[in-house]
């Protein structure tokens, strides 16, 4: 059997690693907790499948039942010696006790088989005085027992069949939460459960709930009716069994009775001579080895012991493994589907915010044209020949003298905003409107979140950002960053880099502009390169009003090819190319500013939340999630082949 389950063991270890990767991503991006670690399927993975699928197969048999049903007494009888301390007080057994075969401890580690427990050797007197242990031994020796929450005591069972582990467990109907948790972990680790019932416990709600869980996990169950009045001519146990099966869906492997006889009870307990009478449950060949059968109705003290010895280990182990694997496949699939639904809901939420941001892009202001032209003029000045530079420098000085009175007149009035400052105001208006639009969309999204239970973890994040203080903080941080932008420098860098590349790709255009510049210098043409680009509507006026003047001036100046160049200028080809380039500069600058806004917004709490939503919404399409889904599918295929 060990070789049969080797592929499953390897696949489960890959599954466990991938599970932690996906869970970590979910914790970081989906605001989830680790509740899956308290789930039944995860308990079966960690307490049953991972620890028990390596090495030679062994059977884990646990004695379970409610308070004061005689579990420890039956445990001692099956062990063939007094291991546990029987006590009439309810809830006396607090920690499980594991009995192992003589040679088992040499080949296997109980710490690995029961990873949820701290394994400790049974005290030297081989009697577990559970009540006193809680307040004495465990607390007085914390280095040995830790916090004593999940102790599991172990000792050698000299009369156990090879490869069989026998456990006594805490009460499954205990009011102590820790006892229930320990009993549940033992149930998950078990292959066979010996359910000890009485006339009071067969229909107990907590007991039935425990065995419903066991049935769901495909555990094999042997029912023992303890303290039964015998003989029982009316067969009251049959009605008890019928009710128990109907309420739990358990299909018992066998049913035994332990008669109550007050005249013999003390001697039977002392000498371990309780009678185990088979009542029902003809064992199949899959459960019993060697074709053995248990004779119903025959009173014999070792009947149950013989039954455990003759159980077909491999078949029962495989059945429990199938049940655990089925739970893991189904549970992890549902767990992952829940995250997928959450990611899809977050994608809807992120789309609302993204669409709101994109809706503002068409309204973004273009680069301030005066700054663009100023930069172009500086660049073009460097392209001129020295003589042409001096001529245009002279024009500039004359212009300054002529414009001095106008500057003096305007200086006495209110100073208008510079192109950069005006652009800053216009852009901030668009940014503040875009941010306000995002807040409006998030207000709408809040209703979406409140309607979907899978998004409840994000409600507190939304409320914090959408509060008055949250909105003011976002706008303040954005505006402070915006005021620190060197817009003038940004425009200059963009124009300079782009215009050089533009001229390099248009050698004919560069020649045309050089000729026109020379014509303007020597012929004193009233239409200049800068003014044509500054005022797009001037092109038509220029081409109509200076046509003959430009051609004549080109000829007069003696510029080689001047007439042909002037003709191209008059036709508008060169100017149209420049205008198209200017539009491209505007587009690039707007895209650049939008990227700046998005980057600045990303640093605020609003942007961080938006980015987080976007990342979370893509989790279901990330490689670790896809790999984990494929591993679950592979486990499902292995399950159907078992």
User: Over the stretch 150-209, which tens digit does the pLDDT of each residue have?
Assistant: 889 998 888 888 888 999 998 888 877 788 888 889 999 999 999 999 988 888 899 999
Q: For residues 272 and 155, give the distance between their C-alpha atoms in angstroms, rounded to a whole number.
A: 19
Q: Both 109 and 249 in a single domain?
A: yes
How many domains would you assign to the chain? 2
Is residue 134 domain-resident? yes
pLDDT at 271 (0 to 100): 58
- Residue 415's pLDDT band (cuts 50, 70, 90): low
30-39, 136-145, 267-276: which range is least confident on average? Answer: 136-145
CA distances from 638 to 324, 333, 504, 633 (A): 13, 15, 66, 9
Q: Both 306 and 374 in a single domain?
A: no
Q: Both 273 and 166 in a single domain?
A: yes
Q: Both 271 and 394 in a single domain?
A: no
Q: Both 255 and 378 in a single domain?
A: no
Q: What is the mean pLDDT of residues 606-631?
A: 84
Is residue 412 domain-resident? no
CA quadruple 601, 607, 610, 612: dihedral positive or negative?
positive
Q: What is the 3-state secondary structure (H, E, C) of 157-207?
A: CCCCCCCEEEEECCCCCCCCHHHHHHHHHHHHHCCEEEEEECCCCCCCHHH
CA quadruple 202, 206, 208, 210: dihedral positive or negative?
negative
∠ CA 240-246-251, rounded to 5°:
90
Q: What is the CATH number of the domain that holds 66?
A: 3.40.50.300
Q: Give phi and psi for 484, each to the nearest 5.
A: -85, -5
User: Over the stretch 538-592, which tens digit does the pLDDT of each residue have?
Assistant: 444 444 443 444 444 444 444 444 445 445 444 456 667 778 888 888 889 999 9
Is residue 221 domain-resident? yes
pTM for the model stands at 0.67
- Residue 62's pLDDT band (cuts 50, 70, 90): very high
Q: Both 62 and 186 in a single domain?
A: yes
Q: Both 388 and 256 in a single domain?
A: no
Q: Both 432 and 539 in a single domain?
A: yes
Is residue 70 domain-resident? yes
Is residue 53 domain-resident? yes
Is residue 230 domain-resident? yes
Is the pLDDT at 146 greater than 90, yes or no? no
Q: Both 237 and 161 in a single domain?
A: yes
Is residue 515 domain-resident? yes
Q: Both 85 and 220 in a single domain?
A: yes
Query: Residue 147 carries which DSSP code?
Result: T
How confident is the prediction for the chain on average, in pLDDT? 75
pLDDT at 63 (0 to 100): 95
Q: Both 119 and 267 in a single domain?
A: yes
Q: Both 570 and 509 in a single domain?
A: yes
Domain interval for residue 210: 34-311
Q: For residues 556 and 390, give the distance between their C-alpha atoms in angstroms, rounded to a whole number.
A: 19
255-259, 316-320, 519-523, 628-632: which range is least confident on average? Answer: 519-523
Is the pLDDT at 499 greater than 50, yes or no? yes
Task: List the one residue out of 16, 10, 24 whose CA is nearest residue 44.
Answer: 16
Task: List the one residue out of 355, 335, 262, 321 whose CA is nearest residue 35.
Answer: 335
Is residue 337 domain-resident? no
Burial 318-346 (b: 16+ CB within 10 A, else e): bbbbebbbbbbbebbbebbeebbebbebb
């Amino acid at each position: 059997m060990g070789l049969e389950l080797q592929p499953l063991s390897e696949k489960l270890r890959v599954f466990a690693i991938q599970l932690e990767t996906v869970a970590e991503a979910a914790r970081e991006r989906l605001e989830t907790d680790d509740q899956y670690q308290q789930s039944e399927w995860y308990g079966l993975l960690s307490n049953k499948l991972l620890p028990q699928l390596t090495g030679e197969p062994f059977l884990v048999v646990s004695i379970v039942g409610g308070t004061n049903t005689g579990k420890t007494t039956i445990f001692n009888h099956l062990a063939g010696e007094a291991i546990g301390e029987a006590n009439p007080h309810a809830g006396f057994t607090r920690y499980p006790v594991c009995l192992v075969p003589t040679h088992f401890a040499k080949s296997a580690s109980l710490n690995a088989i029961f990873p949820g427990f701290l394994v400790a050797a049974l005290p030297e007197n081989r009697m577990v005085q559970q009540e006193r242990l809680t307040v004495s031994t465990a607390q007085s020796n914390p280095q040995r027992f830790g916090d004593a929450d999940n102790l599991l005591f172990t000792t050698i069972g000299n009369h156990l069949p090879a490869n069989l582990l026998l456990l006594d467990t805490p009460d499954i109907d205990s009011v102590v939460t820790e006892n229930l948790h320990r009993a549940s972990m033992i149930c998950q680790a078990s292959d066979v459960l010996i359910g000890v019932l009485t006339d009071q416990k067969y229909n107990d709600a907590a007991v039935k709930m425990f065995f419903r869980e066991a049935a769901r996990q495909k555990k094999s169950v042997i029912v023992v009716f303890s303290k039964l009045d015998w003989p029982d001519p009316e067969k009251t146990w049959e009605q008890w069994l019928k009710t128990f099966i109907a309420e739990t869906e358990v299909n018992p492997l066998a049913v035994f009775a332990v008669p109550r006889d007050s005249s013999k009870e003390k001697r039977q307990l002392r000498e371990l001579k309780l009678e185990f009478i088979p009542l029902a449950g003809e064992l199949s060949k899959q459960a019993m080895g060697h074709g053995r059968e248990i004779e119903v109705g025959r009173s014999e003290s070792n009947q149950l012991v013989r039954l455990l010895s003759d159980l077909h280990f491999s078949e029962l182990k495989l059945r429990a493994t199938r049940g655990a694997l089925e739970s893991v496949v189904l549970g992890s699939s549902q767990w992952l589907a829940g995250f997928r639904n959450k990611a899809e809901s977050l994608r809807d939420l992120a789309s609302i915010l993204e669409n709101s941001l994109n809706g503002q892009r068409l309204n973004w202001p273009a680069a301030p044209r005066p700054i663009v032209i100023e930069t172009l003029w500086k660049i073009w000045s460097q392209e001129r020949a020295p003589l042409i530079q001096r001529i245009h420098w002279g024009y500039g000085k004359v212009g300054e003298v002529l414009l001095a009175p106008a500057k003096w007149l305007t200086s006495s009035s209110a100073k208008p905003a510079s192109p950069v400052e005006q652009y800053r105001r216009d852009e901030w208006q668009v940014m503040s409107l875009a941010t306000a639009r995002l807040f409006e969309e998030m207000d709408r999204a809040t209703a979406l979140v409140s309607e979907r239970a899978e998004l409840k973890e994000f409600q507190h994040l939304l409320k914090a950002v959408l509060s008055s203080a949250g909105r003011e903080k976002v706008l303040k941080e954005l505006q402070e960053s915006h005021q620190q932008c060197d817009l003038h420098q940004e425009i200059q860098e963009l124009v300079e880099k782009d215009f050089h590349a533009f001229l390099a790709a248009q050698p004919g255009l560069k020649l045309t502009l050089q000729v026109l510049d020379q014509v303007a210098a020597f012929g004193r043409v009233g239409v200049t390169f800068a003014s044509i680009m500054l005022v797009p509507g001037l092109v038509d006026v220029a081409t109509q009003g200076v046509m003959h003047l430009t051609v004549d001036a080109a000829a007069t100046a003696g510029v080689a090819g001047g007439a042909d160049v002037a003709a191209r200028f008059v036709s508008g080809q060169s100017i149209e190319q420049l205008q198209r380039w200017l539009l491209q500069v505007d587009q690039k600058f707007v895209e650049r500013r939008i990227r700046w806004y998005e980057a600045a917004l990303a640093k605020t709490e609003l942007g961080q939340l938006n980015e987080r939503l976007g990342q979370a919404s893509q989790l279901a399409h990330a490689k670790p999630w896809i790999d984990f889904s494929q591993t679950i599918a592979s486990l499902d295929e292995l399950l159907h082949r078992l």
